[in-house]
């Protein structure tokens, strides 16, 4: 090995798996460059823009002298933190102290801060499987151990108190991370199931982290915040999904008081603050709820198109389509390899979906995830293409 190469060898902790959906996106982009029309059901991001109120606030901030766009306080612009706290009163009837709101670079930034503030290297963190891949990859990069707990149809694919305690008995857990609505499954926990899991975790000394990024996008029943069950839970949310602001990179945390100062110190050192323009826009996004409810109504129509259309194509087994904008389907009647299935569906029918292996290293080869965050016309066209393609296979 040359000396230069040895000096720059990547660390073992950097050896995290790629996020497969990104590879599907690249393959779809190559087809589009070659002139093909691809329907994008692989990406977990809204096609709609940020609320007009957010865009107007950003334009106004840019139109001024620019002096307002310096660093902000590490925990976030105070008026944004107050507005986020007020959102809990409006949406859930929960009083939140603005001093416990931490503004982050998307919920992704919140995971890093929460894990660093709560965990030591080697700590074990329970995750349900299937789950959003970066949870386990960030934990691994930080030297912690993700503990994958399988879920099934009998529990609506939610983690149960029994399964959590069984993993804790094997070797103690430090924390558990749960999302409802979840990605990739689109399933949700009932308020009772969530409260029971939070209570079980805390009684056993396991910290509860709740990823509530898909709140607001619920169709089966309203999502409940873990804060209702416990003020010791770390609650993470984002402007990316409901508010259609993925690229603005703003999220937040409601943190137990004892963690706020450590998180502030970490954030001061890691990022200083979240981009100011994005924080200004995010605060104004709360005034754009009527527009976002119309976007949500579009997802609900897309959901109906898939729930009716996919069984007519032969894809009859999928998880309860409760929330977010995902449908997780079992395609094992057609293939033992969902990766190859997704590749063929893209190349032959021009529909991009994400193979389940991204979310579940064990059973993911039976599943693909459909995202229905695009237009209604795209959904109708996708069902038509999938139907014709599967017929050709049979």
Ligand X SMILES: Cc1ncc(COP(=O)(O)O)c(C=O)c1O
Give residues in contact with ligand X (CB under 6 A). Answer: 44, 106-108, 132, 179, 183, 211, 213, 238, 240, 246, 251
Pick 279 or 335: Cβ nearer ligand X: 279
User: Measured from the CB of residue 354, what is the shortest distance to ligand X in angstroms?
Assistant: 11
Query: Directed axis angle between helix 106-118 and helix 257-270, to 10°?
Result: 110
Pick 39 or 179: Cβ nearer ligand X: 179
Which has the closest alpha carbon to 380: 281, 308, 328? 308
Kindly state the DSSP code that residue 49 receives in the 8-state scheme.
P
User: Measured from the CB of residue 205, what is the shortest distance to ligand X in angstroms?
Assistant: 25
Please tell me whether the peptide bond between 68 and the residue prior to it is cis, using omega within 30 degrees of 0: no
- Ordered DSSP codes for 91-150: HHS----GGGEEEESHHHHHHHHHHHHH--TT-EEEEEES--HHHHHHHHHTT-EEEEEE
Rounded Cα distance, 133 and 214, in Å: 16
User: Measured from the CB of residue 194, what is the shortest distance to ligand X in angstroms?
Assistant: 15
Rounded Cα distance, 174 and 182, in Å: 21
Kindly state the DSSP code that residue 286 receives in the 8-state scheme.
G
User: Measured from the CB of residue 241, what is the shortest distance to ligand X in angstroms?
Assistant: 7
Yes or no: say if 341 and 355 are a contact pair by the CB < 8 Å rule. Answer: yes
Pick 225 or 335: Cβ nearer ligand X: 225
Pick 72 or 183: Cβ nearer ligand X: 183
Residues 6+ apart with CB under 8 A from 140: 13, 16, 146
User: Measured from the CB of residue 119, what is the shortest distance to ligand X in angstroms?
Assistant: 18
Please tell me whether the peptide bond between 250 and the residue prior to it is cis, using omega within 30 degrees of 0: no
User: Measured from the CB of residue 313, what is the shortest distance to ligand X in angstroms?
Assistant: 26
Pick 179 or 382: Cβ nearer ligand X: 179
Pick 132 or 349: Cβ nearer ligand X: 132
Pick 123 or 211: Cβ nearer ligand X: 211
User: Measured from the CB of residue 59, what is the shortest distance to ligand X in angstroms?
Assistant: 22
Cross-strand bridge partners of residue 264: none
Pick 277 or 349: Cβ nearer ligand X: 277
User: Measured from the CB of residue 137, what is the shortest distance to ligand X in angstroms?
Assistant: 12
For residue 283, what is the enclosing H or E element? helix 276-285
Rounded Cα distance, 198 and 194, in Å: 6
Yes or no: say if 125 and 177 are a contact pair by the CB < 8 Å rule. Answer: yes
Q: Which two tokens stand for residue 329?
A: 């389907």
Cross-strand bridge partners of residue 236: 211, 253
Which has the closest alpha carbon to 243: 302, 277, 291, 211? 291
Q: Which residue is at the shortest CB distance from ligand X?
A: 106
């Amino acid at each position: 090995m040359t000396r230069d190469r040895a000096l720059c060898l990547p660390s073992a902790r950097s050896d995290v798996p790629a996020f497969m959906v990104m590879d599907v996106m690249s393959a779809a982009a190559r087809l589009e460059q070659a002139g093909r029309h691809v329907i994008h059901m692989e990406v977990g991001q809204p096609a709609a823009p940020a609320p007009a109120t957010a865009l107007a606030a950003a334009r106004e901030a840019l139109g001024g002298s620019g002096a307002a766009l310096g660093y902000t306080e590490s925990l976030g612009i105070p008026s944004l933190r107050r507005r986020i706290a007020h959102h809990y009163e409006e949406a859930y009837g929960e009083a939140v102290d603005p001093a416990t709101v931490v503004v982050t670079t998307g919920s992704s930034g919140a995971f890093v801060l929460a894990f660093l503030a709560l965990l030591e290297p080697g700590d074990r963190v329970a995750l349900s499987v299937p789950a959003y891949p970066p949870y386990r990859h960030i934990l691994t990069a930080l030297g912690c151990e993700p503990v994958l707990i399988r879920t099934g149809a009998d529990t609506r694919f939610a983690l149960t108190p029994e399964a959590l305690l069984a993993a804790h008995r094997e070797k103690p857990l430090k924390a558990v991370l749960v999302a409802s609505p979840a990605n990739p499954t689109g399933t949700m926990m009932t308020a009772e199931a969530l409260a029971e899991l939070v209570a079980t975790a805390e009684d056993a000394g396991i910290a509860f982290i709740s990823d509530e990024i898909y709140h607001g996008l619920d169709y089966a029943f309203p999502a409940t915040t873990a804060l209702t069950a416990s003020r010791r839970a770390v609650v993470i949310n984002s402007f990316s999904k409901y508010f259609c602001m993925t690229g603005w990179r703003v999220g937040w945390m409601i943190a137990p008081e004892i963690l706020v100062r450590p998180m502030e110190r970490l954030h001061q050192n890691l990022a200083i603050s979240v981009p100011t323009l994005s924080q200004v826009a995010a605060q104004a996004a709360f005034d754009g709820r009527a527009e976002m409810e119309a976007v949500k109504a579009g997802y609900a129509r897309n959901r109906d198109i898939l729930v009716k259309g996919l069984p007519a194509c032969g894809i009859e087994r999928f998880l309860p389509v409760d929330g977010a904008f995902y449908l997780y389907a079992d395609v094992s009647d057609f293939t033992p390899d969902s990766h190859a299935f997704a590749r063929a569906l893209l190349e032959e029918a021009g529909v991009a979906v994400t193979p389940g292996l991204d979310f579940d290293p064990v059973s993911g080869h039976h599943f693909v995830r459909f995202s229905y965050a695009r237009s209604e016309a795209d959904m109708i066209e996708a069902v038509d293409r999938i139907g014709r393609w599967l017929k050709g296979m049979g």
